[in-house]
């Protein structure tokens, strides 16, 4: 059953149409002017509006324009005088779903509404399934802490665009999950998502892997092969660990990104590709640029919209929800955590981030054998929190001199920053360039 509003300045027509639609099982109302219709649509929730075009003082076109600006927008069908094709075309361009000619044939109207209702129900079912599918996937970005809310906001902002995204964060934080979330929320969601780990490719294989090759291009090339750029055409290409591509290949990658075309190994013919590029790294690319290990022009090409994925230790409030998510995934009872386990999980520093938490819980479910998971099952004492793995060094002695004191300060800053050199430099109130010089001086690179 659908809610339908009829708008016609001839009351008898409105009454006749509403009675016909009620007989078909719908909830139908009618008003006699466009202004009243706008008020009713704003206050109610209609699925369809059937409106005459010629009314005073607010005509059907003005009503259609108002409806298009509303948050909840019902489908609109316009009634036009017989032969008034230009008015119907104008209404369709303004957003009308369809038009019907007057005088109306009630059988024709009934058939049209029946078909429209079937299509509406089908559309709603498809949208519902898509929302359910999205929620099944999106719940992998678990957590509602302030850092996660900021992360989701950035994803929502950049996903509908074609902007290149650089995702940074420590290993195990879920950078690929963020890349996939961007793809799913983009206009390319129905097209391929192709992920490549750049660190796993040797310099000799990178060009063939990304750009493809022709048969006979090199020993072992027994057939033509499409590269990752071609496979991702019209979709999203995710380049993980982008910092690990070789110096020689960086120039070729930059050209492919700038020209939006590639050339297969063994061919001279360029191939146009339409890909949205999302990259990720656990390194500070700006530092690698300063050290001459990464091309500055490629860095600027990739760093259009940076997104940082926070480490787990910066969002410990999410750990209970993440633990519950993984237990569901392992088909383990959600009530299976003994007292004190959550506190133990939250107290640990998680140098391996969410990936380490998953592994710890998976092992714990095996050790617990269906019973409650205890703190002993976590075996975190064997792993040791990072503060124990890297104990505080003794205070510098005068005999160590200034160099010894400086080394200890740098080691402490790095430890408290979780190895992030940018944060360590800020804590020491020096630039990254100065920090790297001090690291080389003390052999701490």
Tens digit of each residue's pLDDT (9 = 90 or more) over 319-344: 999 998 898 888 887 666 888 889 99
pTM above 0.75, yes or no: no
Both tokens assigned to 445: 């690179």
Mean pLDDT score of the chain, rounded to an integer? 84
Domains present along the chain, CATH in parentheses: 3-127 (3.40.50.2300), 146-308 (3.40.50.300), 314-388 (1.10.8.60), 398-442 (1.10.10)
End-to-end CA, the chain: 69
- CB 207 within 8 Å of CB 252: yes
Is the bond into 182 cis (omega within 30 degrees of 0)? no
DSSP state of 170: -
Which residues are registered as beta bridge partners of 361? Answer: none
Which of 55-59, 235-239, 268-272 bottoms out in mean pLDDT, i.e. has the lowest? Answer: 55-59
Q: What mean pLDDT do residues 61-74 have?
A: 82
- CB 80 within 8 Å of CB 102: yes
Question: What pLDDT, in 10s, does the model give residues 161-218?
Answer: 999 999 999 999 999 999 999 999 999 998 899 999 988 887 778 888 899 998 888 8
Both tokens assigned to 16: 């006749």
CA 19 to chain centroid, in Å, comes to 47
Percent of the chain beyond pLDDT 90? 32
How buried is residue 58: exposed, middle or buried, by Cβ count under 10 Å (0-12/13-18/19+)?
A: middle
* H-state helical runs in 142-227: 146-158, 175-184, 203-211
Strands 165-168 and 193-197 turn out to be: unpaired
Contacts of 12 (CB under 8 A, 6+ apart): none
Which of 215-224, 267-276, 288-297 bottoms out in mean pLDDT, i.e. has the lowest? Answer: 215-224
pLDDT of residue 229: 93
What is the CB-side half-sphere exposure of residue 225 using CA atoms within 13 A? 19
Q: Measured between alpha carbons, how far is 366 from 371 in angstroms, rounded to an integer? A: 10
Does 156 or 87 have the greater pLDDT score?
A: 156
Does 141 or 221 have the greater pLDDT score?
A: 141
Q: Measured between alpha carbons, how far is 437 from 445 in angstroms, rounded to an integer? A: 9
Does 313 or 200 have the greater pLDDT score?
A: 313
Largest CA distance in the chain: 103
- Give the total residue count for the chain: 445
pLDDT of residue 382: 54
CA distances from 80 to 34, 75, 98, 339 (A): 15, 16, 11, 71
């Amino acid at each position: 059953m659908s809610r339908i509003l009829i708008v016609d300045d001839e009351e008898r027509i409105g009454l006749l149409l509403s009675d016909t639609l009620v007989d078909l099982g719908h909830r139908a109302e009618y008003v006699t002017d466009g202004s009243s219709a706008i008020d009713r649509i704003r206050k109610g929730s209609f699925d369809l509006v059937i409106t005459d075009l010629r009314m005073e003082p607010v005509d059907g076109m003005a009503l259609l324009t108002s409806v298009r600006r509303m948050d909840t927008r019902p489908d609109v069908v316009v009634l036009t005088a017989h032969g008034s094709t230009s008015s119907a075309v104008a209404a369709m361009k303004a957003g009308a779903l369809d038009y019907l000619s007057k005088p109306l044939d009630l059988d024709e109207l009934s058939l049209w509404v029946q078909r429209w209702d079937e299509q509406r129900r089908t559309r709603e079912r498809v949208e519902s399934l898509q929302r359910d599918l999205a929620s099944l996937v999106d719940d992998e970005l678990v957590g509602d802490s302030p850092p996660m809310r900021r992360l989701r906001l950035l994803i929502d902002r950049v996903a509908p665009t074609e902007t290149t995204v650089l995702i940074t964060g420590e290993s195990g934080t879920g950078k690929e999950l963020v890349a996939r979330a961007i793809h799913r929320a983009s206009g390319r969601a129905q097209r391929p998502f192709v992920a490549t780990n750049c660190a796993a490719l040797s310099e000799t294989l990178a060009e063939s892997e990304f750009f493809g090759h022709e048969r006979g291009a090199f020993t072992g090339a027994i057939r033509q092969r499409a590269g990752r750029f071609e496979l991702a055409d019209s979709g999203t290409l995710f380049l993980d660990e982008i910092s690990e591509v070789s110096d020689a290949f960086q120039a070729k990658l930059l050209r492919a990104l700038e020209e939006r075309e590639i050339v297969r190994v063994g061919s001279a013919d360029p191939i146009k590709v339409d890909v949205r590029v999302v990259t990720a790294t656990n390194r500070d690319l700006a530092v690698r640029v300063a050290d001459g290990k990464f091309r500055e022009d490629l860095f600027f090409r990739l760093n259009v919209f940076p997104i940082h994925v926070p480490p787990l230790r910066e969002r410990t409030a999410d750990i209970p929800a993440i633990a519950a998510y993984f237990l569901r995934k392992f088909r383990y009872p959600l009530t299976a955590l003994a007292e004190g386990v959550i506190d133990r999980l939250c107290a640990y520093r998680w140098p391996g981030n969410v990936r380490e938490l998953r592994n710890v819980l998976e092992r714990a479910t095996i050790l617990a054998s269906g019973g409650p998971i205890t703190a002993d099952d976590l075996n975190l004492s064997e792993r040791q929190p990072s503060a124990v793995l890297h104990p505080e060094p003794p205070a510098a002695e005068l005999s160590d001199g200034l160099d010894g004191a400086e080394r200890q300060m740098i080691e402490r800053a790095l430890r408290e920053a979780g190895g992030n050199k940018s944060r360590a430099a800020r804590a020491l109130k020096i630039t990254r360039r100065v920090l790297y010089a001090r690291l080389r001086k003390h052999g701490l690179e």
